[in-house]
Amino acid sequence: MNSEQSNDYKKTSSTGKKVEKRKIETNELLGNWETIAKAANAEKISPAKMSRSIKLKTIFNNDYFFVSV
């Protein structure tokens, strides 16, 4: 591949974890993302804070995030 050519394809990290956001009371799906970083960006928080929130099962305004399988 020529170094001047750009490759627009981006592969999701194999270590990336799919994240879901759900409502506590109803378990309604509010959002899902391919990686913790994308979820953090969408929620306007740092990826480190998102990761800790998932690990510690932190609740935000009656919503929670978790790693889906």
pLDDT for 68 equals 87
Taking the chain (69 residues) in runs of 10, the rounded mean pLDDT of each run is 55 72 96 96 95 95 92
Total domains present in the chain: 1
Supply the pLDDT for residue 8. Answer: 61
Among residues 32, 21, 31, 16, the alpha carbon closest in space to that of 61 is found at 21
Residue 7 lies in a domain: no
Whole-structure pTM over 0.85, yes or no? no
| Residue 20: its H or E element | strand 19-23
Residue 48 falls within a domain, yes or no?
A: yes
With respect to residue 26, please indicate whether it lies within any of the assigned structural domains: yes
Parallel/antiparallel/unpaired status of strands 59-60 and 63-67? antiparallel
Task: Tell me how far apart the alpha carbons of residues 17 and 20 are, in angstroms, rounded to a whole number.
Answer: 10
* 10: in domain: no
On whether the CB atoms of residues 67 and 53 are closer than 8 A, the answer is no
- Please report the pLDDT score of residue 65 as a whole number: 96
- 25: domain range? 19-67
| pLDDT value of residue 31 | 96
**pLDDT on residue 9:** 56
Does residue 27 form part of some domain? yes
